[in-house]
Amino acid sequence: GGRVLQLFKTLHRTRQQVFKNDVRALEAARIKINEEFKNNKSETSPKKIEELMKIGSDVELLLRTSVIQGIHTDHNTLKLVPRKDLLVENVPYCDAPTQKQ
């Protein structure tokens, strides 16, 4: 249960960074995160829990590295607001944990 709670908190932290100052997006993401966790809270199958954890981690990574905010400065100008997590080189994502020597 500890890892699940950790993921839950991480998703909410990421949501707050990614959608900062965007009340509608913040609220929509909050509801969606809470809903997904609530809908699966009685899940007992370790395999299914693992799958759900993987999905949650993937979503968090995607939000953190792929979502960029745009602010309308006037009717046809959009100012992009990059975060430091976004500005990483396009390194291929590796699912396998690296071996520690």
With respect to residue 16, please indicate whether it lies within any of the assigned structural domains: yes
Q: State residue 101's pLDDT score.
A: 46
With respect to residue 11, please indicate whether it lies within any of the assigned structural domains: yes
With respect to residue 57, please indicate whether it lies within any of the assigned structural domains: yes
Q: State residue 12's pLDDT score.
A: 95
With respect to residue 96, please indicate whether it lies within any of the assigned structural domains: no
* pLDDT less than 50: residues of the chain: 101
The token duo for 40 is: 């699966």
Q: State residue 90's pLDDT score.
A: 52
Q: How many CB atoms lie within 10 A of CB 38?
A: 9
> Which domain does 33 fall in, by range?
1-85
With respect to residue 30, please indicate whether it lies within any of the assigned structural domains: yes
Rounded Cα–Cα distance for residues 71 and 11 (Å): 23
Domains in the chain: how many in total?
A: 1
- Report yes or no on whether pTM surpasses 0.85: no
